[in-house]
A and B are shown apart, each in its own frame.
Chain A
Amino acid sequence: RIYPLMRVTLTTSDGASVTVSRQLTKHSGFIEKAITDMAVDDNAVPLSAVAVDVDDATLKLVIEWLTEHRDDALPYPEKTDEERRADDIPAWDQAFVQKWDTKEDQQQTLYAVITAADKLDIKGLLDMTCKTLANKINGKTVEEMREILQLECDFTEEELAEIRKENAWCEN
């Protein structure tokens, strides 16, 4: 059992320190592993800070999400391939992500949170942010996808013709 009052200090990649409850960090496989590796009792406060490769601004967003999801069941349920879908994002999470839409660099924020969720091994947050990105792409043409994702086409004309032929049946 993890006692809610126990706190852990995290140091960010840009040098900030943030102290959070173990009730939140228990959702991060990376932080929990780091604490275990410090050879302290599971329920003790680690003697030193845990360094995370996430900047302060992104970590604040991660902590905001963790605070809302602090009571989520662990371990995070593994989804079968059939259960992978993008249209089941909880209302709070949708509103949380929509707040970024007012930012000029909202896509960069989404990328930063996806990266943080991956590095910190927070499966629920990774799941939600990947769904959000998938939803931005769903229903778009290839050209629109390239524009949204800011990707260049690196196919030759011959390769493109071949792919168009392969995809022709779903573009009807």
Chain B
Amino acid sequence: IATGRCHVPLDALFSRRSVKALLAFPDEILLEIIERLSFTDRLQMRAVNHRLYDLESRTAATAAAYRSVSTGLEWKMMDGLASLTIETVTGSISIFTLPLETGLSVLKRTMKSCTFDTMKLLHVDEKCLSKFAFYLRHVRAKKLGFYTIEQGVSD
């Protein structure tokens, strides 16, 4: 085979053998696939195994996807439980009631990942409010306003 002055050395060119299993793909291909999954499917995908967990978490950390999933988020704390209400772009509303620490990790993840039209904070104590303020660094919001019962209205 004459290859002329091909810019890729042949040994490098032929080094990647055929792919028989998904994990044989390089990271960039797996990311191409992960980024095309829906929000909940991405969360499911990360539970499949370590490599997919690490890849999915990396994209979440850089806020690469699942924007526009939510148009509204409401966070409440009552009796040590966190209640997270998410309104999707299709108008459906999901309410999740979780132990506080789990709720905080979900809140952190959601705020890194979604675009919001509105946010509401209700029944927030000082410790939670400071965490919320920290997470605000990651949030993508068209018009950000948040409300707390104890502290009035802020913009």
The answer to whether A and B interact is: yes
Name A's B-contacting residues (CB within 8 A): 11, 13, 30, 33-34, 37-39, 46-51, 53, 55, 81-82, 84-86, 108, 111-112, 114-115, 118-119, 126-127, 130-131, 133-134, 137-142, 145-146, 149-155, 160, 163-170, 172
Is B61 in the interface zone, CB < 8 Å from A?
no
Measured between beta carbons, the chain A residues less than 8 angstroms from B1 are: 11, 49, 51
- The count of A-to-B residue pairs whose CB atoms sit within 8 angstroms is 154
CB distance from B83 to the nearest CB of A (A): 11
Name B's A-contacting residues (CB within 8 A): 1-8, 10, 13-14, 16, 18-26, 28-29, 32-33, 35-41, 43-50, 52-53, 64-65, 67-68, 84, 94, 96, 98, 102, 105-106, 109
B33 touches A166 (CB 8 A): no
Measured between beta carbons, the chain A residues less than 8 angstroms from B23 are: 151
B4 touches A48 (CB 8 A): yes
Measured between beta carbons, the chain B residues less than 8 angstroms from A155 are: 47, 49-50, 53
- A86's partner among B8, B37, B48 (CB-CB below 8 A) is B37
B13 touches A130 (CB 8 A): no
A172 touches B2 (CB 8 A): no
CB distance from A39 to the nearest CB of B (A): 6
Known: A131-B36, A151-B48. A38 touches B6 (CB 8 A): yes
26 CB contacts below 8 A, A to B, read: A37-B4, A48-B4, A81-B64, A86-B36, A112-B18, A114-B19, A114-B25, A114-B29, A115-B29, A118-B28, A127-B32, A130-B29, A130-B33, A131-B36, A134-B37, A145-B44, A151-B21, A151-B23, A160-B47, A166-B102, A167-B47, A168-B96, A168-B102, A169-B84, A170-B43, A172-B96
Measured between beta carbons, the chain B residues less than 8 angstroms from A33 are: 7
Main secondary structure of the interface of A (DSSP, over half): helix
B37 touches A119 (CB 8 A): no
Known: A37-B7, A130-B33, A153-B49. A140 touches B44 (CB 8 A): yes
